[in-house]
Structure 1
Amino acid sequence: MYLENVVFDAAEPRRLGRFWEAALGCETLTDEPAGYETRLAIEGGPELDLCFQPVPERPAEPLRLHLDLRGTERQRQTVERLLGLGASPLDIGQGDVPWVVLADPEGNPFCVMEDRDAYSDTGPLAALPLDSADPARDALLWAWLTGWTEAPGTAAVSLRHPSRRGPLLELCEEAGPKGPEKNRIHLDVRLEQGDDPDLVALGVAERGGREVLHPDWGDLPWRFFVDGSGNEFCLLPARG
């Protein structure tokens, strides 16, 4: 298994996808009415696809997963470039912090980080911070799902691709429990040839997560899960 997608619910997938593609220097994979996909390739490290799927209306619930961009010593120039692409300043009560909070064109908060040693070799995407009720517990599940391993960082637990390149997956102490609404950004994990999806479902349950089934969803090619803190993720079938 491996981490394949960062998925955004979007009112205008093409507009939002093109913003993030320009922000991160990605390459377009799919540009269709059903969704927009673009790939972030880290030399010597992982590939992550950013997928933008249409929803009837713009999501409004608080984010539990967001993107942190690497600002380095050129943080201010990075912020100005993103503002030029369509981002806007955002005050979420962050106060006097060394990072800069912005909103993408659909209001999703993201941060442009200051220079940190932990962000060496991440590329333009420094981290994927994910809210967690129990970071140590959830890190065990996400490490098993992705093959990423614990790495130095400033979150409660940080995971990183074995190459030690690309972004950190940061398990952060949540401010409050997750509500019933689906998060507007989630992760997808892809099975590899030989992986048994039923055994993976059992492994998710053993590590604090669970599968979610709904009678109205019908027969989908993927399976839908939540981790121990309620964060949604999809398990995609092996390619081929």
Structure 2
Amino acid sequence: MALRPVQVNIKALDAPAVGRFWAEALGWSAYSPGVTTYVGPAGGPVWPDPLAVCVDVVPVPESKTTTKNRVHIDLATTSAAHQAELVARLQALGATPVNVGQGAVPWTVLADPEGNEFCVLEPREIYRDTGPIAAVVVDCEDPRAMARFWDEALDWTLHEVTDDRAVLRSARGVGPYLEFLRTPGAKTVPDRVHLDLLPYPDDSKAAEVARLRALGATHLDLGQGDVPWTCLADPEGHEFCVLAQS
């Protein structure tokens, strides 16, 4: 029994507009199968995608607060010229530069049109084969504790764990990395960005939820009502959802 991340869930006032932004940012396509806007590789919606962790933009009535999200996306680039071109193109699409205290760094920190922070990375060899999303990055207080929980929760491989960083990736060596970075300060507000996880077809969603709770996850009531997914939080309070098989 294990779960696989299938999408990054982003909340937005204008889900179609934010979905179009992320489609342009990733070089993918935006699809509207229902109330959400799904962003995935071109060629028609495939869910779950066999290689990529995609993006699902969900409409909500509340704007983002000024508090920095503790989950964000890092975008991969292949050269310095590609990084500069991507940053310029994203700003033309409505992204804005953001100062989150990063100082002088080789990557560029931006926010999407509704303020969700993300990074455009300088070229790095480790991300040469991830596709447009290099990593989903989670701020945390204790990367070792996060590694223990998420290594058990997912069917991904733990590649690195130190006091400052924990890194996981699909056991098949495809798609983005999931990285937990030690960051000062505890989580204080619900995030606008979180991971959605999916059981495998032969696994029970209820059994997976029970297993996660035994590992230290807690149930969340976000006003979601009677829905087919289950909202949980990891031991540091990062929200995530366990989806039902479609």
Tell me how far 1:88 sits from its aligned partner: 1.7
Q: How many residues align?
A: 234
Partner of 2:45: none
- Pair 1:164–1:153, CA change in 2 (3 A): farther
Identity of aligned residues (%): 36
2:53, 2:176 within 8 Å by CA — same for their partners in 1?
A: no
Please tell me the residue identity of whatever aligns with 1:54. P
1:69, 1:111 within 8 Å by CA — same for their partners in 2?
A: yes
CA RMSD, Structure 1 to Structure 2 (Å):
2.3
Match among 166, 169, 173 for residue 157 of structure 1: 166
Counterpart check, 1:230 vs 2:237? yes
2:147, 2:161 within 8 Å by CA — same for their partners in 1?
A: no
1:67, 1:127 within 8 Å by CA — same for their partners in 2?
A: yes
Match among 219, 226, 232 for residue 226 of structure 2: 219
Report Cα offsets for 1:126-166 as digits up to 9, x if no partner.
Answer: 11111222222222332333311123699611111122222
In 1, the alpha carbon distance for the partners of 2:149 and 2:31 equals 29
Match among 57, 69, 75 for residue 75 of structure 2: 69
In 2, the alpha carbon distance for the partners of 1:217 and 1:152 equals 35
State the TM-score, normalized to the length of structure 2: 0.86
2:52, 2:176 within 8 Å by CA — same for their partners in 1?
A: no
3-state SS of paired residue (2:130):
coil
1:118, 1:153 within 8 Å by CA — same for their partners in 2?
A: no
1:45, 1:165 within 8 Å by CA — same for their partners in 2?
A: no
Uncovered stretches (5+) of structure 2, i.e. residues with no partner: 43-48
In 2, the alpha carbon distance for the partners of 1:217 and 1:157 equals 31
Counterpart check, 1:191 vs 2:199? yes
- Pair 1:163–1:150, CA change in 2 (3 A): same
Counterpart check, 1:173 vs 2:179? no
2:138, 2:180 within 8 Å by CA — same for their partners in 1?
A: yes
Please tell me the residue identity of whatever aligns with 1:112. V
State the TM-score, normalized to the length of structure 1: 0.88
- Pair 1:45–1:200, CA change in 2 (3 A): closer
3-state SS of paired residue (2:7):
strand
Please tell me the residue identity of whatever aligns with 1:165. V
Tell me how far 1:213 sits from its aligned partner: 4.3
Report Cα offsets for 1:103-146 as digits up to 9, x if no partner.
Answer: 11111111111122221201111111112222222223323333
In 2, the alpha carbon distance for the partners of 1:107 and 1:148 equals 30
State which drifts further: 154-163 or 50-59: 154-163
- Pair 1:11–1:158, CA change in 2 (3 A): same
Uncovered stretches (5+) of structure 1, i.e. residues with no partner: none
2:146, 2:166 within 8 Å by CA — same for their partners in 1?
A: no
3-state SS of paired residue (1:151):
strand
- Pair 1:223–1:114, CA change in 2 (3 A): same
Partner of 1:115: 123
In 2, the alpha carbon distance for the partners of 1:188 and 1:209 equals 14
In 2, the alpha carbon distance for the partners of 1:120 and 1:150 equals 19
Please tell me the residue identity of whatever aligns with 2:186. P
